[in-house]
Amino acid sequence: MNLIHAIYPTNWNDYELIDSGDFEKLERFGSYITIRPEPQAVWSKNVDDAEWLAKAHVKFTGVSSSSGKWNFLKPMPENWQVEYSPQTTDASPGKLELTFNLALTKFKHVGIFPEQSVNWDFIFEKVNEIKTKVERPRVLNLFAYTGGASMAASAAGAEIYHVDSIKQVVNWANRNMESSGLKDIRWVVEDAVKFVKRELKRGKIYHGIILDPPAYGHGPNGESWKLEDQINEMIGDVLNLLDKEHHFFILNTYSLGFSSLIIENLMTDHLKKIKFNNIKPEYGELYIPSTTGQKLPLGVFCRF
């Protein structure tokens, strides 16, 4: 297994993990600092609670980490923007420059998963490579959330299909696209499993596929998704949609206890059955290092 550890680019000025511990994390998004629950942060904080509260603008509290409210400690807007431009601050063709609209939601999220920035860079690079052989690569982003991966593919010149089951989240992704000066992302509000099955029947082929499933969830018509029950079949289906010669693939999982070894076993089994050229998958853990020194794990991945 080729195990690598991926972190967000060190020159992302608009994001910082300041500290983590005691099942919480202290983060800066642009000019504003949040305290949010973090089930993986089982260690102790490096900085005491008083200093966290002195730094933060807002803290999420509630009966669970997925349903609660924000307590304001300092004035800040409920909606704001952050920029992602890892190369330089100079605006010129060929540079990845994205704008995200953030918001304080009742589910503790703010509209962005910063650890995914390493995959945005990967997508941008791979689409540009495929463009030397394919005029306009087709990319499929499944469980696509607020569109970071979709925008990275679009910025590189791909024809991108963005699939998510929640209309409000797709609308949020559309606002991010517009704020980033991009256009023509194809929005699909549908259950990802159903969409993939239909594309298989149609004989569709994509040059890039991003598969970013939650641990559990529901489609727009009540369709159920449970990662451990459905991921095996889903991987087989999406690999059959992937162009055998010019391609890239990313799989992320966030479920606690779902290790990179599980992902390697699943992928090895399916890649034996489907013939690709020169596949060397990377497997590893996504994490973000805090300013105070810890490494916060935020899921595992496979990509090639």
Distance CA 157, CA 182 (A): 10
> What tokens were used for 45?
């904080």
Least confident range from 33-42, 80-89, 173-182, 191-200: namely: 80-89
Give Dmax (Cα) for the chain: 58
Strands 3-6 and 282-289: parallel
Contact 70, 104 (CB under 8 A): yes
Q: What is the pTM of this model?
A: 0.93
**β-pair partners for 72:** 58
Measured CA to CA, the distance from residue 276 to residue 110 in angstroms comes to 38
Q: What is the pLDDT of residue 150?
A: 98
Q: pLDDT of 219-250, one tens digit each?
A: 888 788 888 889 999 999 999 999 999 999 99
Residues in the chain: 304
CA 43 to chain centre: 25
> What CATH class has 3-303?
alpha beta
Decide if pLDDT at 135 tops 80.
Answer: yes
Nearest in space to 266 (alpha carbons), one of 248, 274, 242, 142: 274
Q: What is the model's pLDDT at position 127? A: 98
